[in-house]
Amino acid sequence: MNKNEDPKLGEECGVFGMYDLDGEDVASSIYYGLFALQHRGQESCGIAVSETDGPLRNVSTVKGMGLVNEVFNADNLGKMKGDIGVGHVRYSTAGASIAENTQPLVLNYIKGTLALAHNGNLTNALALRQDLEEGGAIFQTTIDSEVIAYLIARERLKAGNVETAVKEAMKKIRGAYSLVIASPRKLIGVRDPYGFRPLCIGKRDNAYFLASESCALDTVGAEFVRDVEPGEIVAITSTGITSDKSLAAPNKGRCIFEYIYFARPDSYFDGTCVHTSRLTAGRILAQDHPVEADIVVGVPESGNPAAMGYAMESGIPYGTAFIKNSYVGRTFIKPKQSSRESSVMVKLNVLREVVQGKRVVMIDDSIVRGTTSARIVKMLKDAGAKEVHVRISSPPFLYPCYFGTDVPSRDQLIAADHSVEEICRMIGADSLGYLDIQRLSELIGGDEGYCRGCFSGNYPVDPPKEDIRGEYEK
């Protein structure tokens, strides 16, 4: 990527699992579930299915680089026979973006098979990996998910069932993880003790689902049952659902940025509607950073609900100023560019008639390095906007994230070394206001059980002593 580019933040992935107790094939439903989670990862995807009444090591797997509708088709889906399976969409924050790192991971071992899909980042992956390698493990990938899979497989050799093996593995790993695991006869859902990453349970007729977001359940016509709780291990078998919550941490650490940016607005996490959270953020911005203006606009997509909230609270009309090219994702080809071209201009265009001669309030979800914000402000002013007042629906990024979000190191964060006034001048805005960190909890109904480490430097779990993000090769 061009070092001058400032892409939207990425989140590691989305996971989806299904067990049809009537024995029907699940591959097509998993495909549609992944399609609904495409926003969580656009680099690679995969599905692994098996038959619970079939041979132990007969897992059908299709994985590849690219979007869900690029990797899968009617032919390869039709050949995937099985009533239990897991799926994954990936955006890399740990491990290279290469075919070998696509998920789900499928392990064949003495107890059968294990298909695993992981969302999150471990903070002690390097130490665990070294220990496993010294014990003879041979790794095929550079992702921390394989460390989890090996630990579970190793624990399963001495555990009475896979749930116990998962629990013992959880005692060794640190950091963020939501897991969906298919063993030969069980579908397992796991959420780390702090609940960094979301996971929920759904049901359709006699089939059960596990998904990163509730919107994926809607897509396959499943009823939302409940969230998997932080620290919970859920096992779905032919006889029903069992649960173990004994590893839950006393304090929760849900990622607040799921509500601000990552999740689809039609998803619900732990009882909170994402769309409502973003409306609330906009209302707070209007209360704390009012300005005289003619129109409020959002930067698609996550900026739009916050812009609506700002407009409702301030009484300033809401408008659509940006047209987004829906066919451009994170993976689109970036040829050698002249200084006049950028990914921002490829993805967005301004409706001149909407902003010309007007004082504009522009709402976005974050500022990372500042280059994207500067380009968008310039686009608005080039289209005739008289003033551009930028409002950000999150606090300033001051620290990196080690739990599955690619917030970069401090030296790449514009807010780490510049005041709000300096950033305002650097991006060419007429004024700039961020969401007050003290009001973050209002986005989730006043609940304090969330992680705001990237804004405050206070993490629910001790961060690694060195920045482990990226590839694990020595």
Q: Find out whether 45 and 123 touch, Cβ atoms under 8 Å.
A: no
Segment 239-245 shows an average pLDDT of 96
pTM of the model: 0.91
Q: Is residue 439 over pLDDT 50?
A: yes
d(CA 163, CA 140): 25
- pLDDT band, very low/low/confident/very high, at 472 (cuts 50, 70, 90): very low
Can you tell me the mean pLDDT for 110-136?
91
Model pLDDT, residue 4: 43
pLDDT score of 337 more than 90: no
Domain check: are 310 and 365 in the same one? Answer: yes
Does one domain contain both 24 and 154? yes
The 10s digit of each residue's pLDDT in 199-214 is 999 999 999 999 999 9
3-state helix, strand, coil in the chain (%, to 5): 30, 25, 45
45 in catalytic set:
no
Whether the per-residue pLDDT at 135 is higher than 70: the answer is: yes
Which residue among the candidates 13, 424, 451, 454 is catalytic per the annotation? 13
- What percent of the chain is modeled with pLDDT above 70? 91
| Angle CA 266–391–385, to nearest 5 | 110
The pLDDT, as a whole number, for residue 112 is 86
- CB crowding 200-212: b at 16 or more within 10 Å, else e: bbbeeeebbbbbb
Are 237 and 278 in a shared domain?
no
Residue 333 has pLDDT above 90, yes or no: no
**What whole-number distance in Å separates Cα of residue 82 and Cα of residue 61?**
11
In a domain, 119, yes or no: yes
- Where does the pLDDT of residue 342 fall: very low under 50, low under 70, confident under 90, or very high at 90 and above? low
Amino acid at 317: P
- In a domain, residue 464? The reply is no
At 430, the pLDDT band (50, 70, 90 cuts) reads very high
Q: What is the pLDDT of residues 289-307, one digit of tens each?
A: 999 999 999 999 889 999 9
Closest CA to 43 of 85, 8, 80, 93: 93
- Model pLDDT, residue 335: 43
- Beta-sheet pairing, 348-350 with 322-324: antiparallel
Do 235 and 296 belong together in one domain? no
Answer yes or no: do 274 and 375 share one domain: yes
State the average pLDDT for the chain.
90
Q: Does one domain contain both 219 and 154?
A: yes
> The domain containing residue 408 runs over which residues?
269-456
Same domain, yes or no, for 245 and 289? no
pLDDT band at 3 (very low <50, low <70, confident <90, very high): very low
Is residue 104 in a domain? yes
Residue 290 lies in a domain: yes
Q: What is the pLDDT of residue 245?
A: 97
* Count of domains for the chain: 2
CA–CA distances in Å: residue 429 to residues 381, 384, 421: 9, 14, 10
Report, as an integer, the average pLDDT of 37-54: 94
Q: Within this chain, do residues 160 and 234 fall inside the same structural domain, yes or no?
A: yes
Percent of the chain clearing pLDDT 90 (strictly above): 78
Answer yes or no: is 465 within a domain. no
Q: So what's the pLDDT on residue 331?
A: 38
Q: 330 pLDDT exceeds 70? A: no
Q: What is the pLDDT of residue 468?
A: 55
Look-up: residue for tokens 């690029």? 70
403/373 same-domain check: yes
Check: CB of residue 102 under 8 Å from CB of residue 46.
yes
Query: What is the C-alpha end-to-end distance of the chain, expressed in Å?
Result: 22
For residue 227, the domain's CATH number is: 3.60.20.10
The pLDDT confidence band at residue 92, using thresholds 50, 70 and 90, is low
The CA–CA distances, whole Å, from 470 to 39, 94, 143, 201 equal 21, 5, 9, 31
pLDDT of residue 332: 41
pLDDT at residue 9, rounded to an integer: 59
Q: In this predicted structure, what is the pLDDT of residue 305?
A: 97
Query: For residue 311, what is the domain's CATH number?
Result: 3.40.50.2020
Q: Is residue 402 part of a domain?
A: yes
For residue 288, the surrounding DSSP H or E stretch is helix 274-288
- pLDDT tens column, 351-376: 999 999 999 999 999 999 999 999 99
Domain assignment of residue 262, yes or no: no
Taking residues 118-132, report their average pLDDT. 92
- State whether 196 and 332 are in the same domain: no
Q: Do residues 169 and 155 touch, judged by C-beta distance below 8 A?
A: yes
SS3 346: helix
In this prediction, residue 6 carries a pLDDT of 53
CB 369, CB 417: distance < 8 Å: no
Q: Read off the pLDDT band of 2 (50, 70, 90).
A: very low
Confirm whether 469 is domain-assigned.
no
Cis before residue 301, ω within 30 degrees of 0? Answer: yes
Q: Indicate if 211 and 290 belong to the same structural domain.
A: no
Residue 339 pLDDT:
42
- In angstroms, the CA 234 to CA 228 distance is 7
Question: What is the predicted pLDDT for the residue at 20?
Answer: 98
Tokens at 36, concatenated:
């609904």
Higher pLDDT, 138 or 3: 138
Number of H helices, E strands in the chain: 16, 23
Residues 200, 281: one domain? no
